[in-house]
Amino acid sequence: MNFLEKLLALDRRIIFLFIAIAVALPLFFTVKLHIEVTPVVRNLHNALEALPPGSKVLVSLDYDPGSMPELQPMAESFFRYCFMRDLKIIIIGLWPNGPIQANSALEVILNEPDIKKKNPKYGMDYVNLGYTAGNEVVIERMGSDIPVTFPKDYSGNKTEDIPLMKGVKNFNNIDFVYNLSAGYPGTVEWVLFGVDPYKIKLGAGNTAVQAPQIYPYLNSGQLVGLLGGMKGGAEFEIATGHPAKAVKFMFSQSVSHALICFFILIGNFAYFATRKKKGA
């Protein structure tokens, strides 16, 4: 068995080990990578920049801890941006864990010095309306009546008594919708049941697995902008001028991708070289 044949029969655990090292080692280094903000992320940022202070932004967190590494940095950077710009945040979840993820992101952001100075108040500057069952039907129902769909907030306060919710009847009173999605129900349902029937302005952050499915909605203008995976999150952090977790992880991501590309190339080379030999 020559070297190339040995390579083809390589124990997959050795590859796992290499990947683990490629992911872990870069985490110890702070390398400034040049991260280009792509048009899809730039469009989302521009749409948010166009909102005047005091605008109401509905954030739907439709994911669970399984997608945290990709979507949590997006949630944190979005909340940070909203607080800095004095945008009012209304949080909901079509997934039961969504509002819990929101609270965990808020806990991080509200403890940052810049945000502490702003001193955002619950009920005035942000509110968490929690989760309600019904998947896409929830979106449909919000189109006619948000307080009926979410009669109480996450802590059990009556929605109609919350100052931020005064005058919020349906999507007509929401200036922008931002959806963080890891599957069903998520961005597709927001487009189908929110964008087209109610003409809401929608921006989204998705897991990378889901992103290719969402791209057609960008070309058609049904979606204002999209953050695709951790890379999209990093671009948004750059666009908002506050590099954080996603940017920090990009070096690790780049090294691991380079290693995978190397394995794909070498694997293909070994395969074709040995096949030629066998054929001869």
Partner 1 sequence: METIGIWIAALLTLGIFSFLYKDNPFYKFCESLFVGISAGYWFVTTFWQVFMPKLADNLIAGRFYYMIGAIFGVLMLLRLFPKIGWLSRWSLALVVGTTAGLYFTRYLVSNGMVQVQNTIIPLYVKGNLSQTIGNLVIVIGTFSGLIYFFFSKEHKGAFGGLAKLGIWFLMLSFGASFGYTVMSRMSLLIGRMDYLLGTWLGLIR
Q: Does 260 bind partner 1 (CB under 8 A)?
A: yes
Task: Tell me how far, at minimum, the Cβ of 175 lies from partner 1, in Å.
Answer: 22
Residue 184 near residue 206 (C-beta atoms within 8 A): no
Candidates 18, 47, 55, 69; binder of partner 1 (CB under 8 A) is: 69
105 or 195: CB nearest partner 1: 195
Q: Does 6 bind partner 1 (CB under 8 A)?
A: no
* E strand or H helix that includes residue 88: strand 88-93
Backbone dihedral region for residue 215 (phi beyond 0: left; psi -120 to 50: alpha; all else: beta):
alpha
Q: Does 19 bind partner 1 (CB under 8 A)?
A: yes
Task: Tell me how far, at minimum, the Cβ of 69 lies from partner 1, in Å.
Answer: 2
Q: Does 47 bind partner 1 (CB under 8 A)?
A: no
25 or 124: CB nearest partner 1: 25
Per the DSSP assignment, residues forming a β-bridge with 275 are none
124 or 258: CB nearest partner 1: 258
Number of Cβ atoms within 10 Å of the Cβ of 107: 10
Query: In 3-state terms, what secondary structure has residue 204?
Result: strand
Q: Does 256 bind partner 1 (CB under 8 A)?
A: yes
Q: Does 86 bind partner 1 (CB under 8 A)?
A: no
Report how far apart, in Å, the C-alpha atoms of 127 and of each of 140, 212, 228 are. 21, 32, 26
Residue 82 near residue 57 (C-beta atoms within 8 A): yes
DSSP 13-29: HHHHHHHHHHHHGGGGS
Interface map 261-280 toward partner 1 (x if CB under 8 A): --------------------
Query: In 3-state terms, what secondary structure has residue 68?
Result: helix
Residues found near partner 1 in the complex (CB under 8 A): 13, 16, 19-20, 23-24, 27-28, 66-70, 96, 130-133, 136-137, 140, 151-152, 191-193, 195-197, 207-209, 211-212, 216-217, 219-222, 228-231, 249, 252-253, 256-257, 260
